[in-house]
């Protein structure tokens, strides 16, 4: 996705240990025009999948998730990381380790929002080791629903997430794939 690549090149900041900071357009301040294009791109990629819901994780997945859901004309569900006084019963719970934050969270989704037989598209901002995607997929499968695919905004292809998800049988579509963040430089898959 050309617009997203340009944003990564122009505004992304490479930090130590394989971390790409994109807080100026994706996960702190958000570019609504970019989010709209992300939603359109995921719709085009997954148009034939008969998706009934989009599922993401708070908070960075919400913007691309809601725009994808809007384009697909289906509801968005987001898994909560924070405990809620109103979400304590009839929930799916999974543990997910965050590569960037270096912490494990329990994510929760109300059982009333995913029904058996539904076709759920998982959308997330980053793919590194696949922990968030696997946690969300386990929730979908606990509900008796199907993972129709996994849409990733930015994939760090030098980490094992994509290969692990593909090996587990999931369809993974990433809008931007990064081969390397060595020497504080972004190198996309397919570049020399």
Binding residue numbers for xanthine: 20, 27, 156
Q: 148 near 78, Cβ under 8 Å?
A: no
Distance, CA of 57 to CA of 159 (rounded, Å): 20
- Using left for φ > 0, alpha for ψ between -120 and 50, and beta otherwise, residue 144 falls in left
State the binding site.
20, 27, 128-132, 156
Q: Residue 39 burial (CB < 10 Å; 0-12/13-18/19+)?
A: buried
Binding-site residue ranges for 5-phospho-alpha-D-ribose 1-diphosphate:
128-132
Whether a cis peptide bond, with omega within 30° of 0, leads into 59 is yes
């Amino acid at each position: 996705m050309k617009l997203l690549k340009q944003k990564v090149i122009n505004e992304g900041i490479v930090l130590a240990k394989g971390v790409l900071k994109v807080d100026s357009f994706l996960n702190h301040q958000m570019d609504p025009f970019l989010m709209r294009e992300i939603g359109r791109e995921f719709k085009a990629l997954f148009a034939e999948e008969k998706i009934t819901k989009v599922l993401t994780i708070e908070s960075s997945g919400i913007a691309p998730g809601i725009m994808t859901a809007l384009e697909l004309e289906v509801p968005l569900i987001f898994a909560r990381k924070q405990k809620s006084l109103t979400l304590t019963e009839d929930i799916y719970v999974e543990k997910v380790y965050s590569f960037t934050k270096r912490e494990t969270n329990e994510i929760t989704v109300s059982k009333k929002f995913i029904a058996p037989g539904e076709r759920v598209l998982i959308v997330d901002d980053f793919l590194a080791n696949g922990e968030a995607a696997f946690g969300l997929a386990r929730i979908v499968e606990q509900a008796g629903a199907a993972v129709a695919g996994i849409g990733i905004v930015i994939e760090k292809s030098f980490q094992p997430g994509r290969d692990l998800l593909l090996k587990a049988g999931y369809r993974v579509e990433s809008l931007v794939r990064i081969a390397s963040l060595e020497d504080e430089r972004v190198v996309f898959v397919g570049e020399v």
